Amino acid sequence: MSQTKEVTHIDNIKLSEDEKEVIIIDQTKLPNVTEYLSIGNAEDLYDAIKQLKVRGAPAIGICAGYGIYVLAQQMPQDSFDSFYSEFAKTKKYIDSSRPTAVNLSWALNRMERVVLDNKDKPVSEIIELLGNESKNIHKEDIEMCTAISEHGLKLLKDGDGILTHCNAGPLATSRYGTALGPIFLGKEKGMNFKVFADETRPLLQGARLTSYELEKGGVDVTLICDNMASIVMKNGWIQACLVGCDRIAANGDTANKIGTSGVAILAKHYGIPFYVLGPTSTIDMNCKTGDEIEIELRDPNEIKEMFYEQPMALKETKCYNPAFDVTDNSLITAIVTEKGICYPPFTDSLASLFED
């Protein structure tokens, strides 16, 4: 396979030139409107994460790293104690915006370590170090996505039909993405895949974002409703399922966008490999099983009203709207990380990733 034209990469998160603001693509406006938001205060950062203007576990981590650096520049600098008091308060506030995505707390904790490890230095120097660390988080994510893509591509063959759920492409991460990474990298290498993208109710990340990215990247993509996954598998059109992840427990149980576990159950029934792709920062070794993962419950109106001109259910009708579900490790064929491919038993293979 010869190297071909590089796929266009979307610059979805960056610092402003003066490093006083975080600039993101508002993903809630895609695919019809590409709008950039400039974020310079804690409330707007919280809102951007909570309201899914920035979404995807790695992207949330990158945004949080840049965001806490931008906010740190506005904090008191007369003493370390006054600076750290404000830093810790702001960190806790931002961390509460999306409890399931471990990359959020991971990035914020990493930034806090920079503060605590350098408490004997002037606050101005600590802030400079925070800037460096936030840029390192982004740079490392690009490197991780590239490595994940390379490992994941080993599991695919030219011409494969692939089903994906939600969005784990460049918009949700950086550069290639995670679950979409092998597809984009394969495209660059001259491979052709036929991708079926679940629309991903109720927020339609698959319809609005995944199909958008794949179309822009020149990939053969077919959009399907979530409840069509079974028939395309039965028709023999799917040779692999690729999904991202928001948190992976130590035993391999994986939290991802609601509907993912259903895809895994279908794949198991039809004998189709089901692969989870994500960086090691998404693996929570302190979380023993998926039972310990907190599932975010979202506004019921996302089901009844969002994307409709008029409500599609009565006002008094109750809704249950979990943002995620947990896929049991027994349904997962392999977990692909930047360090390599992990196979069952995941308790052993995941732990080996963190051995010195």
78: CATH: 1.20.120.420
Q: Residue 270 sits in a domain of what CATH number?
A: 3.40.50.10470
Is the pLDDT assigned to residue 87 strictly greater than 90? yes
Instruction: Indicate whether 59 belongs to any domain.
Output: yes
18 is catalytic: no
Is the pLDDT assigned to residue 4 strictly greater than 90? no
Instruction: Indicate whether 247 belongs to any domain.
Output: yes
Is the pLDDT assigned to residue 3 strictly greater than 50? no
Catalytic residue among 95, 246, 284, 325: 246
Instruction: Indicate whether 5 belongs to any domain.
Output: no
Position 1 confidence tier, pLDDT thresholds 50, 70, 90: very low
pLDDT of residue 58: 86
CA torsion angle for 345, 185, 225, 254 (degrees, to 10)? 20
What rounded mean pLDDT belongs to the chain? 94
Tell me the per-residue pLDDT of 242-288, one tens digit each, with 9 for 90 and over. 999 999 999 999 999 999 999 999 999 999 999 999 999 899 999 99
Structural domain harbouring 188: 151-352
Last residue of a domain, which of 145, 172, 203?
Answer: 145
Q: How many angstroms separate the CA atoms of 96 and 114, rounded?
A: 21
Specify whether 298 is located in the same domain as 194: yes
Tell me the per-residue pLDDT of 9-54, one tens digit each, with 9 for 90 and over. 567 999 999 999 999 999 999 999 999 999 999 999 999 999 999 9
Specify whether 60 is located in the same domain as 109: yes
Specify whether 117 is located in the same domain as 131: yes
Q: Is 294 left (phi over 0), alpha (psi -120 to 50) or beta?
A: beta
